[in-house]
Amino acid sequence: MKLLFSLVFVAMSLQAMAQTGSLDLTFGHNGSRIVDFSASHDKELIQDLQVSPNGEIVLGGLFYEYTAYGAARLTAEGRKDSTFNEDGVYFIQDYLAPIYVAGAVAVLPDRRVIIGGQERSFNDNLPDRLWLKGLKANGHPDPTFGNASVVLTDVSPFFDYAEDISVLPDGRFLVAATINSDEDQYETPPSMAVLRYWPNGKLDSTFGVNGVARIETPGWPGRYVTEHIAVYPDGRIVVQSLRRISTSSSWHFVTIARLLPDGQPDAGFAFGAGFKVYTISPYHAEDVVALLPLPDGKLIFIGNWRNFSGNYVYYLAKLEENGMPEYNFSPSGMIEFPIPCDWGEYFGVSDAVMQPDGKIIVAGQGLFDKMLIARHLTSGELDPAFGENGYRIYDIPGLEGSIYTALQPNGKIITAAEVDNYTQVWRFQNDISGSEEPIQPVVVRLAPNPAEDHSVLYFETPVSGRLTLCNTNGNQLSSWMVKNEISVEMGLQNLP
């Protein structure tokens, strides 16, 4: 009989279903991986996160005591990629002018990496120029990009900064920039610009005027800081900035503009103006963390605001194709989500990404080292099939800075942030198709083995789902439902 049970154990099949929003325990150590890009354990600050076509994780930010800007690449499983500049990171560290500051990073279809930011001269007679750095797929400087891997672009006489990058399917890429024509940013306030480049770093002269589309906002003076850019399925372009009206004012206004694919203003947006200024909060205190264009021409944007109760919470807002709030989305065109944290505070968000099925993943943080992962339906509401009531909260001791998120090709969720001066990356289970996603095979151990009337099955990692016991002919003998269990007791004495 013991021999029979031993054979039954070999024939047993386990079907465990992943819980959406839970940590993917096959990734790193229990779903996360801590990465140190410097032997001296210097501070690292993540400012952007992208995923390559084959699932590699590409990070943009600051390394080495916040003094070196660059890009790092991890394998799809979160390990430092030794095929990327040998140690997984490329950085520029220069204490002499000019210096280079950056935060935006992008991955071209051929896995080449673009870093975007600014060359700062620290010379009143020289401009601070928009700066791009091209890296080959192996992380080395790309000599075919610009001039010896560097592109410097003067859009305005004083100040140009590459704030965000969006890659097009053909390998060309768009850069959203803050530009300014005078050192006094309120006498001649900064404005927005979009530039389009070929994959080799040359400006695309068929876009805008000689590759540059400047976005003017007549009648709305103030300081504009460009933040985000995104592209609609039909090629139209949406760009967003925050506007402050003076140096002494803390009032922020969200400004959104839309361009045609060739860089010309879209007369179908905001009744021909091509841009619109939105006042979301009664306190004029709001921000935007993501633009999500929809196939029907509408737009969802996500950020944080101080609501009518004076609390900072995150929101989803939806615009009609003409730029007006969509009142079918909510009476105001936006929905707020006061997910409680501690001490009467609520979670804010710092990044968001849209799944192919239209659902939206948001990542954020709260007081006392807490991380939020949530999923929203296309209607804007939290998705009850994700986590618990649409979200999950994780305690991350030492969590600092913003949390960035992206999707791997298999739909799993990647997030990254600075934790205790290191870079930490997490991966979460996710479901894009609407059905639960099976996890990888689970290592099991039977005790005692061979089996006896009362035996215990131990799992290497917690599993959920139905456990089915079959004989060697494949016939089902018994089954058990398990939920996040690491072991299950099996009564085998009454098996047929």
Among the listed residues 96, 231, 232, the one whose alpha carbon sits nearest the alpha carbon of residue 173: 231
> Given pLDDT bands bounded at 50, 70 and 90, which one contains residue 348?
very high
Give the whole-angstrom CA distance, residue 238 versus residue 194: 10
Highest mean pLDDT among 170-179, 249-258, 458-467: 170-179
Single-letter amino acid, residue 333: G
| Neighbour-count burial for 452-470, b at 16+ CB within 10 Å, e otherwise | eeebebebeebbbbebebe
Q: CB atoms < 10 A from the CB of 303, how many?
A: 27
CA within 13 Å, CB half, 66: 5
Q: In which region does residue 343 sit, left (phi positive, over 0), alpha (psi from -120 to 50) or beta (all else)?
A: left
> What global pTM score does this model have?
0.82
- Indicate if the pLDDT at residue 72 is higher than 60: yes
Q: What CA–CA distances, in Å, run from 67 to 17, 44, 58, 86, 377? A: 44, 9, 19, 21, 40
- Indicate if the pLDDT at residue 30 is higher than 80: yes
Q: Which residue has the higher pLDDT, 87 or 298?
A: 298
Q: What CA–CA distances, in Å, run from 15 to 18, 27, 91, 135, 465? A: 10, 19, 45, 43, 6
> Given pLDDT bands bounded at 50, 70 and 90, which one contains residue 234?
very high
pLDDT number for residue 116: 94
How many angstroms from the chain centroid is the CA of residue 22?
17
Report the pLDDT averaged over residues 332-342: 90
- Indicate if the pLDDT at residue 409 is higher than 90: yes
Q: Is 353 strand, coil or helix?
A: strand
Give the whole-angstrom CA distance, residue 74 versus residue 350: 21
Q: Which residue has the higher pLDDT, 459 or 20?
A: 20
What pLDDT, in 10s, does the model give residues 162-215?
999 999 999 999 999 988 755 554 445 568 899 999 999 999 999 999 999 999
- Indicate if the pLDDT at residue 424 is higher than 90: yes
- Indicate if the pLDDT at residue 121 is higher than 90: no
CA torsion through residues 160, 165, 167, 168, sign? negative
* % of the chain at pLDDT higher than 90: 51
pLDDT number for residue 158: 79
Give the whole-angstrom CA distance, residue 489 versus residue 75: 38
Q: Which residue has the higher pLDDT, 221 or 33?
A: 33
Q: Which residues pair with 427 in a beta bridge?
A: 414
pLDDT number for residue 382: 95
pLDDT number for residue 14: 37
- Indicate if the pLDDT at residue 96 is higher than 80: no
pLDDT number for residue 252: 73
Tokens, residue 335: 């929905």
Give the whole-angstrom CA distance, residue 416 versus residue 115: 18
Q: CB atoms < 10 A from the CB of 432, how many?
A: 16
Q: Is 5 strand, coil or helix?
A: helix
Sheet strands (E) in 355-453 = 360-366, 370-376, 391-395, 399-407, 413-419, 422-428, 444-447
**In this structure, are strands 191-197 and 173-180 parallel, antiparallel, or unpaired?**
antiparallel
Among the listed residues 27, 8, 14, 9, the one whose alpha carbon sits nearest the alpha carbon of residue 466: 14
221 phi and psi angles, rounded to 5 deg: -70, 160
Measured in residues, the chain has a length of 496
Instruction: Of 19-33, 385-399, 448-462, give the lowest mean pLDDT range.
Output: 448-462
What pLDDT, in 10s, does the model give residues 294-325?
999 999 999 998 877 778 899 999 999 999 99
3-state secondary structure 145-172: CCECCEEEECCCCCEEEEEEEEECCCCC
- Indicate if the pLDDT at residue 458 is higher than 90: no
Q: Is 132 strand, coil or helix?
A: strand
What pLDDT, in 10s, does the model give residues 427-445?
999 987 543 444 455 566 6
| Neighbour-count burial for 418-427, b at 16+ CB within 10 Å, e otherwise | bbebbbbbbb
CA within 13 Å, CB half, 49: 29
How many angstroms from the chain centroid is the CA of residue 187?
35
pLDDT number for residue 2: 40
Give the whole-angstrom CA distance, residue 41 versus residue 59: 17
pLDDT number for residue 206: 98
Q: Is 486 strand, coil or helix?
A: strand
pLDDT number for residue 471: 62
Helices and strands counted in the chain (H then E): 1, 32
Mean pLDDT of the chain: 83
Report the pLDDT averaged over residues 6-17: 37
* % of the chain at pLDDT higher than 70: 76
* Residue 389, C-beta contacts closer than 8 angstroms, at least 6 positions apart: 382
- Indicate if the pLDDT at residue 448 is higher than 80: no
pLDDT number for residue 433: 58
- Indicate if the pLDDT at residue 337 is higher than 50: yes
Instruction: Of 19-33, 110-124, 234-248, 403-417, give the lowest mean pLDDT range.
Output: 234-248
Give the single-character DSSP code of 8. H
Among the listed residues 414, 419, 388, the one whose alpha carbon sits nearest the alpha carbon of residue 402: 419
Q: Which residues pair with 238 in a beta bridge?
A: 230, 258
Q: CB atoms < 10 A from the CB of 251, how many?
A: 15
CA torsion through residues 443, 447, 449, 454, sign? negative
- Indicate if the pLDDT at residue 18 is higher than 60: no
* Residue 139, C-beta contacts closer than 8 angstroms, at least 6 positions apart: 71, 73, 81, 83, 84, 85, 86, 88, 89, 90, 113
Give the whole-angstrom CA distance, residue 22 versus residue 394: 10
**In this structure, are strands 45-51 and 476-491 parallel, antiparallel, or unpaired?**
unpaired
* Residue 147, C-beta contacts closer than 8 angstroms, at least 6 positions apart: none
